[in-house]
Structure 1
Amino acid sequence: MKRKTALVTGASRGIGRAAAYAFARAGYDLVLNCAHSKKELEAFACGLKEEFRIETLCCCGDIGDHAFVEQMFEKINGFCGGVDVLINNAGISHIGLLSEMSYEEWERILHTNLTSVFSCCKLAIPHMVSQKSGRIMNISSDWGICGASCEVAYSATKGGINAFTKALAKELAPSNIQVNAVACGVIDTKMNACFNEEERRELEEEIPAGAFGKPEDVAQFLLQLASAPAYLTGQVISFDGGWI
């Protein structure tokens, strides 16, 4: 029986790396993407291949560049014919006043966080439709639901992902393709390493669960979503320890 294949963007660290490990352990072949950490990603993929006896394909490049994504899917088609699970995880943040943000910074975060989701979905969907099955999971944020001061651009891209998820789920439900988003709270990743110890303690006190989430927790939830009942689609699910 042919193994299923999962594509994880932003897979070199944080949630993406944890998701790749969880899906490899579950027996999925993997297509892994990152923008800059090519050697690190390839070493990680090699380790997964040896540990879990799966097949891996690394595609390093700017996931916000539609031309690169087209090239990536050409490689994917030769590797496995198409992906069964798509995890749109790649993302960057920008902290600062909107009035001080440059147009180039706006464009960069928009393409990395939102255009990448469009490109990957557009190119993954034909295979899923032909198979009459597929799972698309988009990593979002609580800020996409309620917004964050000094993170207007980031909040806007995550809000766009939430609306995108709900709309695409309606479009693809007749083809038995489920589309959901996981709106993460504060996860203990490099993106949130900006907090000093005092700020971290204060933030942890605001979270009812009393701690930052772990990338491995998100990864386990994504794995559960990949096998959830087909009726679960079009949802933006907060994963934040009760914070928002």
Structure 2
Amino acid sequence: MNKVAFITGASRGIGREAALAFARAGFDLAISARTVDEGEQHEHALRDAAGEPLAGSLNSTAAAIRALGRRVLVVPMDLLDSASALTACTQVIAEFGRIDVLVNNAIYQGRDLNSGFLALQPQTLERVFQGYILTPFLLTRAVVENMLEQGGGVVINVTSGAGESDPPVAAEKGGWGYAYGAGKAAVSRLAGVMAAELGDRGICAYTINPGVVSTEALKATIGDKGVIALRAGIAPPQVPAQVMLWLATSPEAPRYQKRTIAAQPFALEQQIVADWR
């Protein structure tokens, strides 16, 4: 029986590349996001410079996975709808009978996420709680309950430097706001708790910080000029994707639990990818 990886936020960016990396390694895939087909409109979604939805969809990712000869299940999921996450877990188990790897990559990305402190509205924090804490917790717990029944599994949570440290400048000058920082700080705490409580029952849990990655979402946030300005400290999404695959498959990986793994230097240190800089 092939192993199964369930990757959230797989319509584009890091999630899409992670899905393709796992497919190339022989995994079957379950992929989730809000955008099933190209061009769909969603509330609280980033848009490109022309005001259009970002490129990418679950079905386009699924087509690329099938072209690699792997099975794939498309499961629509919205982090602001916890029921959709639990339904997604049920659908994946019904289709494959197991989940060996869960990658919690999807995030809420509304433009209000980095509002300044005085401008921040309670509704934004409510969405952050829903999208960064409650729904990921419910999904992860449901998946891990199944992993325990099958004898173990791997959970990889994608955090950010915003959850690890203070912003270098104010939000209106390009730093991150409290809402995003608080949401990612919560993400950063999940894996360590799981490793401490469930490690002796076969669960490995990791926290990975991709660093600055050249995704569609980054371009929509800072523009092409901003991406060019950052090019010396930026990586393609394939880099964190390959680190995730390494964490899920390498016998050396368990010793890197209970810490935040900075994907870009880690990829070079472990010789997971060739130097892209």
TM over 0.5: yes
SS of 1:147's equivalent in the other structure is coil
- Quickly say closer, same or farther: Cα 1:36–1:108, change in 2 above 3 A: farther
Deviation string for 1:112-148 (max 9, x for gaps)?
A: 2332320221111112112222100001001111032
Alpha-carbon distance in 2 for matches of 1:16, 1:78: 22
- Matches for 1:220-231 after TM superposition, within 5 Å: 220-229=242-251, 230-231=254-255
Instruction: Provide the residue aligned with 1:108 in structure 2.
Output: 127
- CA separation of 1:43 and 1:240: change in aligned 2, threshold 3 A: closer
Contact 1:179-1:235 within 8 A present in 2 as well: no
**Structure 2 counterpart SS, 1:82:** coil
SS at match of 2:233: coil
How far apart are residue 222 of structure 1 and its match? 0.5
Structure 1 residue ranges without an equivalent (≥5): 205-209
> What is the CA-CA distance between 1:201 and the residue it aligns to?
4.7
Deviation at 1:240, TM superposition (A): 4.7
Give the number of equivalent residue pairs: 235
Q: Which moved more, 1:56-65 or 1:8-17?
A: 56-65
- Paired residue for 1:85, among 101, 113, 116? 101
Q: Which amino acid aligns with 1:192?
A: L
CA distance in structure 2 between the aligned counterparts of 1:188 and 1:199, rounded to whole angstroms: 11
Pairing 1:99–2:118 present: yes
CA RMSD of aligned residues (A): 1.9
Candidates 116, 120, 124, aligned match of 2:143: 124
Write out per-residue CA displacement over residues 190-220 of structure 1, whole angstroms, 9 at most, x where no aligned residue.
222122455445444xxxxx23111111101
2:199 matches 1:170: no
Counterpart position of 2:47: none
Q: Secondary structure at the match of 1:7?
A: strand
Deviation at 1:73, TM superposition (A): 1.6
Q: Which structure 2 segments of 5+ residues have no match?
A: 39-56, 172-176, 267-277
Letter in 2 for 1:28: F
Q: Give the equivalent residue in structure 2 for 1:44.
A: 61
State the one-letter code of the partner of 1:102: Q
**How is 1:1-244 mapped onto 2 (pairs within 5 angstroms)?**
2-38=1-37, 40-49=57-66, 51-93=67-109, 94-148=113-167, 149-150=170-171, 151-193=177-219, 194-196=221-223, 198-204=225-231, 210-229=232-251, 230-240=254-264
Percent identity among equivalent residues?
27
